[in-house]
Structure 1
């Protein structure tokens, strides 16, 4: 069998059961045949519980084979699979379980308390509560649930889908739902590998994909499972550290991974002798997204890792852009051009398309079934413009079709009637060696409406205070106009970011606006 001749985990596992499919964070290795057998047993068990095509399951599991098994079962049984953020509280978990209409919730022993609370909040019956790992009172043990079923391929296989919930920056999170296709699961998996084709990633053995972020995030799930469907070994991390990342790349000869700029910044802070200890030359596709990457940080990563750094801009809702190493050189600051299945539209406040080079709201449209925010027609409608949708980001497209992002609509600072984009200021401050992380936003100003505020997480060993603030402001001389300079800089021990790198800016901004009406 040619490695590239077959795509899709289920077929690959049948053809080569000894293929090393995944490695858990504790180093436990899982061969494809055993993983397939366990997923098949779970399909039979779920059907035994009464689940049918179109039903859903939720998983509150850490990175590793447990969550992957849920995915592999659901996506060949015509089910919706929703991985849940394990940082959520019981009521938040309960909202997702209930809102997704899940018939079963799988809870890992690590999250037993909040998982039980979530199941209670959702009113989930006992037969739909399944414990992964050590027993959880009131839950059925997963091993006991599947023990009486054979590992054989289920009948009436049909493709399921993941249904991820958006982060809920405004209001409660909503599930991004698409209609089931009715395709054979193997065919659906093969079609899904087209994502890696945009990056030039190859199928077959000899490749390994490193999972550096929680798999409850859409991109992390999509990249890791696509790698699996292409015959790659998936290596999971649990709690990310810079040195452990380098060790795993070296040990498993990792060829692809998905990171965020925060990872880059922390790896670059490692002493030179620690970096030199590990061989990272196997890496061919170091892909980053989810947050803006300062040019100086990317330049340093390229100098270290070589021409393997790719950037993308995408959404759970579908569609995206990609910038390869050459794109970054010829169009610095861009997040690339649209995927072959994506169209872009830049529109003004009235919904009219703006000329090339003009900043407006970024809309995208992707080929294939459109999405809906489950149970929220109004949110679905508000995000749409014709057949396009928006995340609320602002940007412009140049004459060559490259997209440049400015900021989110809600983050634009309006000071004295002028629009100021925080991302531009953040990029300049992040380039300073004394800065580990930074957030810029508008705070109330009685004369100007808003003034620019910066919150800085100092680099390790750097003392916060007026002297550091002065150095940072001095560094902006000649690089940013004075109107964009922060009027004040505050310091924080650690920036509030989601594990996928997205900054939770509202936690920083809201206290300054308490009792005031936001200017935007």
Structure 2
């Protein structure tokens, strides 16, 4: 299945709807524009394995480019719309980009990045003076399919924990472009996705999961309703308005929806939903219980990464029997390794690896690629966890976020998951800050709920809340308050920014 097939059989079927304007792009329109885009890229000399980079918002153009690259064997590198010129320049050079496509709101940063890589042979389409927008340039191209179509892929950049992002480069698919993909098979078997699916896309399309799931829906012939940015109240309204059957969220979205007042939560009909899928970050157990109670046993979870070296998944019934788990392997095999690199028994914590999953590499970085694999060829996403006797995986935390305080290993995820349930807390980040005596001390940075003062009284209340639930060792020694915490638009907490700030402050005091 493929959009080109749906363009022939049901050209007037909506492929995409923009939530902000209700503007519709049909399959006939999408296929014609994707063909023109592919023809243009071919005319520019791009060949199988070359890279096209885009800085585009959540609108039709990103799908046009994605399907254009997919049908001529190219890699698509979607870059964050929050990127700096320096980071974009790094990605352009590292990915060996041949064509850069920038939307109207991102043309200035694109030009600044291009100035930094002036030595590259780079074709640029943007709205900057002297440039031509990509869709405008496509207008003169034929709407017919290229004579030798070839399946492409994405090469997305993982934000990473430290340093520059890493380009995750999978092997290009072989075979016809309309062949069923592994993600289609999972969407069909786990979530019941098909041509009648109406999918709500809630997150930025430059991220792996939002872009890939939207394209899966296009392969099935369903309709993707695209939110420009997430809003809790609007998402509920869109589910009712468009009779949404499938949607993907991150736990932060759940928290924001659950913290709407009762009337706001109940005024929209959500009975059209068949499967609600979440990933990207651990979901606190009380939050997930609340979502299942609200929407019913249609909440699904999976664990993976941009690398897609393996996937675990579970449905609501499985999760209710194994609260806190991220499921059993549905792609690859989960392996838990101890400090010596050998497998450990069920119930023992260690590094999470996947065996027999799809291969990938970090583009132009053989050392990082080497570090991602062990001597058996198993790959890791650098998470810590354990499996139970039934093969269900439980994640403890990111390896890089583990706090060592006075020689004791402390995992901040558990503390964050507790703090976010406090009625006076909107958001929470827990991490280790440098400490001359203990090595690291546990710091909690809190975003109080609207109208709640971030003061000593709240700090003491939260300290007691954590101590009573988790004990004194895991209780943060320091509580600080912010109006807002740094999160990516997908909801991922950017703790590395907070850690860097506290490390810099400590160095300044020690100087």
What is the distance in 2 between the residues matched to 1:303 and 1:223?
25
Q: 1:316 deviation in Å?
A: 1.0
Match among 416, 435, 456 for residue 426 of structure 1: 416
Do structure 1's residue 141 and structure 2's residue 133 form an aligned pair? yes
What is the distance in 2 between the residues matched to 1:228 and 1:291?
25
Are the aligned partners of 1:8 and 1:190 in contact in 2 as well (CA < 8 Å)? no
Match among 336, 340, 361 for residue 351 of structure 2: 361
Gaps of 5+ in 2: none
Q: How does 1:11-410 map to 2 (within 5 A)?
A: 11-25=5-19, 26-123=21-118, 128-131=123-126, 135-187=127-179, 189-205=180-196, 207-318=197-308, 319-339=310-330, 341-368=331-358, 370-385=359-374, 386-410=376-400
- Partner secondary structure for residue 363 of structure 1: strand
What is the distance in 2 between the residues matched to 1:375 and 1:128?
21
Match among 455, 471, 491 for residue 481 of structure 2: 491
Q: 1:190 deviation in Å?
A: 4.5
- Partner secondary structure for residue 470 of structure 2: coil
Q: 1:60 deviation in Å?
A: 0.8
Q: 1:443 deviation in Å?
A: 2.3
Match among 10, 14, 19 for residue 4 of structure 2: 10
The 3 A distance-change label for structure 1 pair 217 and 353 is: same
Count of aligned residue pairs for this structure pair: 504
Q: 1:444 deviation in Å?
A: 3.0
What is the distance in 2 between the residues matched to 1:366 and 1:105?
35
Q: Deviations over 1:388-444 (max 9, x none)?
A: 111211111110101111111221111222211111111111111111111111223
What is the distance in 1 between the residues matched to 2:433 and 2:49?
46
- Partner secondary structure for residue 165 of structure 1: strand
Are the aligned partners of 1:105 and 1:119 in contact in 2 as well (CA < 8 Å)? no
Q: 1:191 deviation in Å?
A: 4.6
- TM normalised by structure 1 equals 0.93
- Partner secondary structure for residue 156 of structure 2: coil
Q: 1:367 deviation in Å?
A: 3.5
What is the distance in 1 between the residues matched to 2:302 and 2:99?
34
Are the aligned partners of 1:45 and 1:149 in contact in 2 as well (CA < 8 Å)? yes
Do structure 1's residue 459 and structure 2's residue 449 form an aligned pair? yes
Q: 1:12 deviation in Å?
A: 1.8
Q: 1:383 deviation in Å?
A: 1.3
What is the distance in 2 between the residues matched to 1:55 and 1:124?
18
What is the distance in 1 between the residues matched to 2:356 and 2:222?
26
Indicate the larger mover: 31-40 or 456-465.
456-465
What is the distance in 1 between the residues matched to 2:136 and 2:226?
26
Are the aligned partners of 2:98 and 2:121 in contact in 1 as well (CA < 8 Å)? no
What is the distance in 2 between the residues matched to 1:154 and 1:16?
21
- Partner secondary structure for residue 428 of structure 2: strand
Q: 1:294 deviation in Å?
A: 0.9
- Partner secondary structure for residue 390 of structure 2: coil
Provide the residue aligned with 2:406 in structure 1.
Answer: 416
- TM normalised by structure 2 equals 0.95
Q: 1:15 deviation in Å?
A: 1.4
What is the distance in 2 between the residues matched to 1:383 and 1:125?
30
Do structure 1's residue 449 and structure 2's residue 439 form an aligned pair? yes
Indicate the larger mover: 59-68 or 349-358.
349-358
Q: 1:178 deviation in Å?
A: 2.0
- Partner secondary structure for residue 210 of structure 1: strand
Gaps of 5+ in 1: 1-6
What is the distance in 1 between the residues matched to 2:479 and 2:72?
53
What is the distance in 2 between the residues matched to 1:367 and 1:482?
40
